[in-house]
Structures are given as structure tokens and as C-alpha cells.
């Protein structure tokens, strides 16, 4: 158990991120059951490790104390057998092996952009004045043949003060390379991972990403533009304006491109193999990405 908790504390330092689905559910409105607890759809949480018999502690939970909509996420760090586990959520995939008590973090969001910042709303109650919450985002570029991508940019926000009302935060990206990234990984923690403190509480809601043009890329939409999803390769599209449709596989390779006018359309990509793909919808004023599955 001690090794397992230490692995959780170090998870935020791991940047071995490859491609997975796009970042969904940025307003935390959709939750799925994991037996005795729920997690926000599209996210992994610390509960997978902390809700283990005989401990059974919830460190990431659904709350109706939201900035907007019905739900938000509440993170709380817990002391487990003398080791503090931060409450965290991540868009990467978190896997915990019970028998070896080892943890791993991998996966990410297809994201071929160079944004200015990631934004959201939070509340924070540090257990001690020295504690702080963390929002960390990696922009990475996948290297074919290697499981370790290059870090193109990184953004981090540290909330150091007690905040009782939802307050906006911004984590500005700093770039280490002129290259275009192809994936984004985001991790949010309720406590400082270098010196975690139990019972620090963080609420998070309403995430978005700002681009240099001043536009925002929606990380979630209330309804999917491409449907039914999953599908057999023939999808419906409801377009409110002329749109460039680009489809990528999970290695970031473009496999389809088409320009369509405003209106309702049927998109036939049944010639593609059964798999998961990323659809990028680009208009004159907006961009959106959506994960689709051909089955």
C-alpha cells in the first residue's frame, strides 16, 4: 500500500503520454458508475487506488456545488497508512496493479494546436497555509516508433490561497519548441505533489482553452455533432455553417478530409477500419474536435 500511494504522489511528474480520445466532459456534467462511486466520464481519478479494501476512501467525487450546470468535481487529499494521496483527475489513463502495488499514467487528447492557456473555475480550502492545488497541462509531440513524446509546451497553475467562491484560473503555456504539438494531457490535484497535505479540498468546473486569436476551443459540447456514435461508418452531421471535416487516426495521421456547406449531411467513412478516430470540425470562426468509433 505504501508503494502504491507514493506512486500516486509522483503521477503528475510522468509525461509519457500518447494518443487517446479527445478531452470530453469539461463541465463535468456526465458521470459514470464505478461500482460504489462515480467518476466524470472521460477522466481517470485517484479513486482507483484509494478505494481499495480495506481503505475504501473517495478522493475525487461528484458534487452539485457547481459553477455552471448541475455538477462539478470535488478533490480531497487523504492520509492513507501514513502516506498522503492527493485527490486528482487526469485525462490520461491511470492504471493501478493491485498485486504489485504499482501505478502508471499514460494516454492523452489529440490536440494539434499551440494554445495560449487553459482556463477554468475553482474553489480551494488548503489544509495548511503552505499547501496549494495544481493544474498542469502538457503539450506533446508523438514520435513514431517511440512511446515517449517530446514536450512542446507546459502550463501550470498553483492555487495558493483559500478561495470560498468559484474563481477563474488561467494556466499560461510556455513553449520549449517551435514544433506543432499533437496531443494534450491535463492533470488536476488538490494538494502540492512535492509535499502533499491531507484534507486539502479543491472544486473544479467549466474548463476551456484560449487560442492566440482570442477564440476558445470547446472541450465539450452538449450534443455531439457527428452521430450516431459509435456507428457503422455512416454518420450524420448537423452543421450550422460551412465546415472543413478532417479525420485522424490515433497516431495523428489524417485519413479523410472534406468541405461541406451548412446543413444536414451523411458522412460515409465505412471504408475505414473499425477503430476510434478524431474528427476535427473547422469553420471560419470556430474549431471543435470529437471522438468517434467505427464498430
CATH code for position 178: 2.60.120.890
6 pLDDT higher than 50: no
Boundary (domain end) residue, out of 214, 243, 267: 214
Boundary (domain end) residue, out of 155, 190, 214: 214
- Alpha-carbon distance of 200 to 125, in angstroms, equals 6
Q: Give how many domains the chain has, as a whole number.
A: 2
7 pLDDT higher than 50: no
Q: Which of 76-90, 104-118, 121-135, 141-155 has the lowest mean pLDDT?
A: 104-118
Q: Is residue 209 part of a domain?
A: yes
Q: Of all residues in the chain, what percent carry a pLDDT higher than 70?
A: 80
190 and 288: one domain?
Answer: no
Q: Identify which has the larger pLDDT, 130 or 273.
A: 130
33 and 165: one domain?
Answer: yes
Q: Of all residues in the chain, what percent carry a pLDDT higher than 90?
A: 33
Average pLDDT over residues 237-245: 87
Q: Is residue 219 part of a domain?
A: no
184 and 160: one domain?
Answer: yes
The band of 214, judged by pLDDT with boundaries at 50, 70 and 90, is low
pLDDT of 275 reads 82
160 and 239: one domain?
Answer: no
- Alpha-carbon distance of 289 to 224, in angstroms, equals 10
Q: Is residue 221 part of a domain?
A: no
Rg from Cα positions in the chain? 19
Reading the block at residue 32, the C-alpha cell is 459514470
Q: Is residue 252 part of a domain?
A: yes
6 phi/psi in degrees, rounded to 5: -60, -35
Boundary (domain end) residue, out of 155, 185, 214: 214
Average pLDDT over residues 259-270: 89
Q: Which of 22-26, 28-32, 56-60 has the lowest mean pLDDT?
A: 22-26
Average pLDDT over residues 98-109: 54
232 pLDDT higher than 80: yes
Average pLDDT over residues 254-280: 87
Q: The domain containing residue 41 runs over which residues?
A: 2-214
Whether the pTM exceeds 0.85: the reply is no
Residues 6+ apart with CB under 8 A from 129: none
129 and 24: one domain?
Answer: yes
State which of 14-18, 148-152, 201-205, 220-224 shows the largest mean pLDDT.
201-205
> pLDDT, tens digit, for every residue of 170-180?
999 999 999 88
pLDDT of 20 reads 33
Does residue 108 contact residue 184 with C-beta atoms inside 8 Å?
yes
> pLDDT, tens digit, for every residue of 179-210?
888 778 889 999 998 889 999 999 999 998 88
Amino acid at each position: 500500500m505504501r508503494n502504491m500511494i507514493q506512486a500516486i504522489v509522483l503521477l503528475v511528474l510522468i509525461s509519457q503520454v500518447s494518443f487517446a480520445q479527445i478531452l470530453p466532459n469539461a463541465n463535468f456534467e456526465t458521470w459514470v458508475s464505478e461500482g460504489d462511486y462515480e467518476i466524470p466520464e472521460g477522466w481517470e481519478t485517484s479513486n482507483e487506488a484509494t478505494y481499495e479494501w480495506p481503505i475504501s476512501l473517495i478522493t475525487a467525487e461528484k458534487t452539485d456545488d457547481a459553477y455552471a450546470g448541475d455538477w462539478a468535481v470535488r478533490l480531497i487529499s487523504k492520509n492513507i497508512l501514513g502516506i498522503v494521496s492527493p485527490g486528482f483527475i487526469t485525462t490520461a489513463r491511470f492504471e493501478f496493479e493491485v498485486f504489485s502495488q504499482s501505478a502508471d499514467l499514460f494516454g492523452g487528447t489529440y490536440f494539434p494546436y499551440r494554445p495560449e492557456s487553459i482556463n477554468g473555475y475553482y474553489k480551494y480550502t488548503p489544509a495548511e497555509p503552505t499547501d496549494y492545488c495544481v493544474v498542469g497541462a502538457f503539450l506533446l509531440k508523438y514520435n513514431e516508433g517511440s512511446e515517449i513524446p517530446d514536450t512542446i509546451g507546459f502550463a501550470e497553475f498553483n492555487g495558493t490561497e483559500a478561495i470560498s467562491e468559484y474563481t477563474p484560473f488561467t494556466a499560461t503555456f510556455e513553449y520549449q519548441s517551435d514544433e506543432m504539438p499533437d496531443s494534450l494531457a491535463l492533470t488536476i490535484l488538490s494538494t502540492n505533489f512535492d509535499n502533499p497535505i491531507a484534507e486539502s479540498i479543491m472544486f473544479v468546473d467549466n474548463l476551456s482553452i484560449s487560442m492566440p486569436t482570442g477564440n476558445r476551443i470547446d472541450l465539450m459540447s452538449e450534443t455531439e455533432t457527428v452521430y450516431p456514435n459509435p456507428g457503422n461508418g455512416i454518420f450524420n452531421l448537423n452543421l450550422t455553417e460551412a465546415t472543413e471535416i478532417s479525420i485522424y487516426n490515433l497516431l495523428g495521421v489524417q485519413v479523410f478530409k472534406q468541405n461541406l456547406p451548412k446543413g444536414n449531411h451523411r458522412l460515409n467513412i465505412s471504408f475505414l477500419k473499425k477503430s476510434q478516430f478524431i474528427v476535427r470540425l473547422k469553420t471560419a470562426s470556430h474549431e471543435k474536435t470529437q471522438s468517434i468509433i467505427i464498430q
